[in-house]
Amino acid sequence: MGLGLAYTPTATHEEILDLFYLAAKWKRPVFVHMRDAGSAVPGIVESLQEVIADAAVSGVSLHIVHINSMAQR
């Protein structure tokens, strides 16, 4: 499952976690463009924590796409 969190900034944490659980149910990995981590909040650490925590809780395999271009530092 591919998620473009950088492109859907109003998606809630609960909605995203629900999608992680859906992928886990079908034993599919999640590929994520993290939320924007520029000068705005959340920053890179918070964005990473969000998707890593969701993967850990749901048990899904996670692939973060383009982390270097999202960090901007």
Amino acid at 37: A
Higher local confidence (pLDDT), 9 or 64: 64
| Domain extents in the chain | 2-71
C-alpha dihedral over 27, 33, 35, 37, to 10 degrees?
140
pLDDT at residue number 38: 56
pLDDT at residue number 72: 59
Quick: pLDDT tens for 19-73.
Answer: 999 999 999 999 998 887 655 556 788 888 999 999 999 999 999 987 765 565 5
* Structure tokens, 6: 């950088």
